[in-house]
Amino acid sequence: MRAPLIVIEGLDRTGKTTQTLRLLSHLNNEGIKNHLIKFPERTTPIGELINQYLTNKRLELSDQSAHLLFSANRWEFQSEIVDLLIKNQTVVVLDRYVYSGVAYSSAKGLDFQWCLSPDIGMPKPDAVIFLQSRDSTATAKREGFGKERYEIESFQNKVRAQFEKFEKDSNWHNIYVDGKSIEQVEREIWEVAEQYITGVQDKLDRFQRKQ
């Protein structure tokens, strides 16, 4: 038995970070232990190299090398995620995960299945919440768009098409942000997350009382 693993995914500048923090606040208010990891996690040696790659467009890496770096960054935290879920019974919330790695790399022309393979063995999320906009130009208008390597509107449309390949997964949940307030999107995210968290939390509480 383990705590739930919840992933917040989305195109750039769709409000992932804001909504991830609001989900954590909601969990805190409910008295549920939680932990956030944001990928890429830029504080490790691999993460620092990724940060340079994303912010310095003069730094060139092959698409394959870049993809494997992002995967390696996730593997740096594999044991921590597992321990949090199983040993500490802590809900883990991820801001981006394997899905972003696959979508962004395959949007550059790499084989979709090849992009999936380096992350085989990483913990599988209970729920993936994908934030998107029906207006393909909406995110490009948001403050800060264009500062990093992949923040190009035409490329984001290609990434969106790759993300759509995951929609058949039973744990995948689309949430459209168009015309909605931050609070409205927050409520929709909680409606999805709650169905995974509440039931598991009840089981964990009963399990702990028996010990």
Q: What is the pLDDT of residues 5-20, one digit of tens each?
A: 999 999 887 899 999 9
Q: Where are the domains of the chain?
A: 5-210
The pTM for the full model equals 0.87
Beta bridge mates, 91: 34
User: Which segment of 33-47, 55-69, 125-139 scores lowest on mean pLDDT?
Assistant: 125-139
Split at pLDDT 50, 70, 90, the class of 198 is: confident
Tokens of 198: 């509440």
Provide the angle, in degrees to the nearest 10, between the axes of the packed helices 45-55 and 63-75: 140
The whole-angstrom distance between residue 38's C-alpha and the CA centroid of its chain comes to 7
Between residues 135 and 190, the one the model is more confident about: 190
Cα 116-1-192 angle, rounded to 5 deg: 65
Do the bridges between strand 172-176 and strand 91-95 make them parallel or antiparallel, or are there none, so unpaired?
Answer: unpaired
Taking the C-alpha atoms of residue 94 and residue 97, their distance in angstroms, rounded to an integer, is 7
- Strands in 91-95's sheet, in edge-to-edge order, are 34-38, 91-95, 5-10, 127-132, 172-176
pLDDT at 13: 77
CATH architecture observed for domain 5-210 = 3-Layer(aba) Sandwich (3.40)
